[in-house]
Structure 1
Amino acid sequence: MEPLFTPEQLADIHAYHQPYYIRAAVEPLVRLALSALLLAVLVRPVYRGAGAAAAALERRFGGALRTAPVSRAFFSAMDRLWGEPGWGTAIFFALFIDLATQLLYAPANVYFFYVLEHRHGLSNDTPATFAWTWFKGSLVGAIALTALVVGLYGLARRVRRWWLVLGVPVALLMLVASALDPYRARLYFDQTPLREGPLRSRITALMRKADIPFSDVVVEKTSVSSKRIQAYFAGQGPTRTIVLNDVILRELAEDEILAAVAHEAGHVNEARWPGRIASSLAVLALLFLIDQALRLSARRGWWGVQRAGDIRTLPLVSLGVFLLITLAAPVSGALSREREREADRYGLNLTGDPGAFRRMLVKAARVNKMDPEPPRWVVLKGMSHPPIGERLAALDAP
């Protein structure tokens, strides 16, 4: 059987992945060091700077904004939610902390997501498109962070069981949020319907065989920034969409694309509700733990905090969330890898074409530069997919 990679390809893959493995080992320590710096040194001066910035903007624009028809309603709602002056300071504090973190990580992010990707032929980004994508991601993150500050800390200041008031609707929203996936993806890449023809007809027939309804098959134009192969299902029920990127259409034959779609169809047939319910309950538990951390900070008077809901506890909350995610990653990764194995088995049974399935995996591994045998600690740390070598070996298992 033809080897998965030539020696030259394998050397290139190892050179590509080695920096990522080093980062995976070092990054938790960097995050802990950054959190220690924030909590021990920077909370008070950053909070003073946020207060000064909010006061300056209030003096410069507050009169006009508080009287204009649209902004007046916003300011009035914020004042009522917060219960007293200070919400501007809270938002600036959170944004300043986020900006400082992004600036600290900027050199590493440019190296990993631009320099390294170009060096190994995986990116089509220009400096301008890379900067634009980064800006959009940062803007979306800033909006989400502002909503977190307003929702979580605003409620924590006014409602004793805020974690329940906030957690229940958030948990319910999580149960249906995946229906919005097809629309979120369009923030970053253009999508067009797959043209009528043999491939679309074969995908439709395959989904009819699998008894999976869907609304459309679309082509996502990711080649503007990436050379990787990608296929996935987005949305649920009436919004379910089969997404193929333009790279997969160029690199794979029709039967190989069908194998990729069949694998993704395996995820549609997973028992999703237990996981979603567990995730929703986990969010409630997380918010309760955050509430306890806020109250402990107020009792101890850390960083000058005198009441629950003080924004100065945000770095502590961020540290706690990071530790919980890090500790849960091995378990969630193991569950994810098992789901991927099941999806492989499902897709193989659906197509009945092991040759096409193998060719699909081999081509995807070559184009996406997958390490066939990553270090075991990397896998156990939380890899979402089994190593490609293991997936190919499973095809030959009796």
Structure 2
Amino acid sequence: MTPARRSAAVLLLVAVVGFAVVAALLVPWDWVPGGRVLPVGADEVFGARQVERATAYSSAQRHLGWASLAVSLVVGLLLGLTRLGSAVVRRLRGRWWWRVLLATLLVLAAGEVVTAPFSVLVRRNALEAGLSTQPWPGWLRDQVVSLGLSWVYAGLVVLLVVGVARRAPRRWPLAVGAVAAVLVVVGSWIYPVVVEPLFNRFTSLPDGPLRSQVLALAREEGVPVSDVLVADASRRTTTLNAWVSGLGSTRRVVLYDNLVDDVPRRETLVIVAHELGHAKNHDVAVGTTLSALGVAAGVGLLGVVVGPALLRRSGATEVGTPEAVPLLLVLVTVGTLLASPVQSTVSRAVEARADRESLAATGDRAAFERIHERLAMRSLADPDPPAWSQLWFGTHPTALQRIGLARGLERVR
């Protein structure tokens, strides 16, 4: 084993153990302490026509998403595991760091181009279903901004890997893993004030009963917030949402404007209490810690996997060259996909605890059930998605699971 691979193996082991310890201690794995989630049938909550419409829509979108992912992976593998990608990169001119950044953009753009037909179909389905209100030019602008953000993030990561590998080829995984973990923490801090405004305009919720009750809930839960903001989401979507984002001085409660305007206050407070439950239990901090450890583990795994055989196959001579960019990007993509079940399982457990916090803070099970029925129907969410799809990609419990959680808690009490 080469020195770089030994360093990577050490990093991988330490990060995986750290992740497992933090997850075991801080993730609330038991959704209903002392009880269980009660089974709830779709026909108990939704009408037959509602179920039919939601199932048809979500199934179509899900299959388009899978197809898009498959095509994207094929293109990534073609560029990264053959000499095609490195041959394109060799034609680029400029200093090494510029070639790295440009190569990253080209690979990302290629993925966007080949999956564009699927994105357009997903968008068209949302328009026809009445879930989107955004004109095509605005949607296209968001796609370009998203590509730019992906370039910034991926470019920084790949630039870090290639740059450190050039300087310290024997120990690059350790240095990259440490810096990447720090970048995750910094990103969590600045995301609310740098990235969120790129997609929404925010205004403070005016003084009134809702603002007073939101701030009162925050005080009761012991969650300091800097402001209660309203996002102009209705210009883009008819779905409902709210969140608490940021750490420390950047923490704020954000409500979609259509949530404020269209939903009874009792139900809105159920959602707010859920989001405050995340802050009360420091879920952003825990999630950031797990993400940092996960990124460090990913860097370690990358260092173990990237060896002479893969480099030769890709047409790159070593990790510290721009020609290695397509290979690095596809390995990160595959690793992220393989890690998705772990990430989604952790996320669902954390969301279930936030639901428990919401029920405890509001004491309003009827409003809890109504708002989750409303959220599901407004987004045409599948009441009962395929089990493997929920395992892999389901970051939240389904509406039926959430209602079953509430009823299970009621039985425990």
Task: Place the TM-score, normalised by the shorter chain, in its bin.
Answer: 0.7 to 0.9
Cα 1:146/1:330, change in 2 over 3 Å: closer
2:45 aligned counterpart, secondary structure? coil
Instruction: Give the letter aligned to residue 146 of structure 2.
Output: G
Match of residue 130 from structure 1: 139
Q: Structure 2-normalised TM-score?
A: 0.81
Distance 1:150 1:380 in 2: 33
Cα 1:86/1:393, change in 2 over 3 Å: closer
Q: Give 1:44 deviation, angstroms.
A: 4.2
Q: Which of 43, 50, 53 matches 1:12?
A: 53
RMSD: 2.4
Cα 1:31/1:182, change in 2 over 3 Å: closer
Confirm whether residue 281 of structure 1 aligns to residue 281 of structure 2.
Answer: no
2:244 aligned counterpart, secondary structure? strand
Confirm whether residue 96 of structure 1 aligns to residue 106 of structure 2.
Answer: yes
Instruction: Give the letter aligned to residue 208 of structure 2.
Output: G
Per mean C-alpha deviation after superposition, the further-off stretch among 332-341 and 193-202 is 332-341
Aligned ranges for residues 1-398 of structure 1 at < 5 Å? 4-23=45-64, 25-27=66-68, 29-38=70-79, 39-40=81-82, 42-49=84-91, 51=92, 54=93, 85-112=95-122, 114-160=123-169, 161-183=171-193, 184-270=195-281, 272=283, 273=285, 275-296=287-308, 301-397=312-408, 398=411
**Could you give the per-residue CA deviations for residues 23-74 of structure 1, whole angstroms, max 9, x where no partner exists?**
455455434422332223522442244x2xx26xxxxxxxxxxxxxxxxxxx
Distance 1:93 1:100 in 2: 11
1:13·1:371 contact (CA, 8 Å) conserved in 2?
Answer: yes
1:196 aligned counterpart, secondary structure? coil
Distance 1:308 1:394 in 2: 48
Instruction: Give the letter aligned to residue 289 of structure 2.
Output: I
2:254 aligned counterpart, secondary structure? strand
Runs of at least 5 residues in structure 1 that lack an aligned partner in the other structure: 56-84
Q: Give 1:246 deviation, angstroms.
A: 0.5
Q: Give 1:3 deviation, angstroms.
A: 5.1
Per mean C-alpha deviation after superposition, the further-off stretch among 167-176 and 96-105 is 167-176
Distance 1:209 1:87 in 2: 51
Distance 1:15 1:222 in 2: 25
Q: Give 1:275 deviation, angstroms.
A: 4.6
Cα 1:217/1:2, change in 2 over 3 Å: farther
Q: Structure 1-normalised TM-score?
A: 0.84
1:294·1:313 contact (CA, 8 Å) conserved in 2?
Answer: no
Per mean C-alpha deviation after superposition, the further-off stretch among 2-11 and 282-291 is 2-11
Per mean C-alpha deviation after superposition, the further-off stretch among 338-347 and 167-176 is 167-176
2:243 aligned counterpart, secondary structure? strand
Instruction: Give the letter aligned to residue 15 of structure 1.
Output: A
Instruction: Give the letter aligned to residue 205 of structure 2.
Output: L
Distance 2:236 2:43 in 1: 31
1:107 aligned counterpart, secondary structure? helix
Distance 1:18 1:8 in 2: 15
Distance 2:158 2:218 in 1: 43
Q: Give 1:389 deviation, angstroms.
A: 1.2
**Bigger RCO (CA 8 Å, 6+ sep):** 2
Distance 2:103 2:183 in 1: 27
Instruction: Give the letter aligned to residue 172 of structure 2.
Output: W
Residues paired across the two proteins, number = 364
1:232 aligned counterpart, secondary structure? strand
2:100·2:155 contact (CA, 8 Å) conserved in 1?
Answer: no
Distance 1:234 1:228 in 2: 19
2:226·2:251 contact (CA, 8 Å) conserved in 1?
Answer: yes
Q: Give 1:172 deviation, angstroms.
A: 2.8
Cα 1:180/1:308, change in 2 over 3 Å: closer
2:72·2:111 contact (CA, 8 Å) conserved in 1?
Answer: no
Instruction: Give the letter aligned to residue 279 of structure 1.
Output: S
Identity level (%): 29
Q: Give 1:328 deviation, angstroms.
A: 2.0
1:125 aligned counterpart, secondary structure? coil
Distance 1:395 1:206 in 2: 20
2:96·2:322 contact (CA, 8 Å) conserved in 1?
Answer: no
**Could you give the per-residue CA deviations for residues 273-294 of structure 1, whole angstroms, max 9, x where no partner exists?**
5554343233223223333444
Runs of at least 5 residues in structure 2 that lack an aligned partner in the other structure: 1-41
1:231·1:264 contact (CA, 8 Å) conserved in 2?
Answer: yes
Instruction: Give the letter aligned to residue 74 of structure 2.
Output: A
Q: Give 1:207 deviation, angstroms.
A: 1.2
Match of residue 32 from structure 2: none
Distance 1:21 1:192 in 2: 34
1:227 aligned counterpart, secondary structure? coil
Distance 2:342 2:324 in 1: 28
Distance 1:108 1:334 in 2: 27
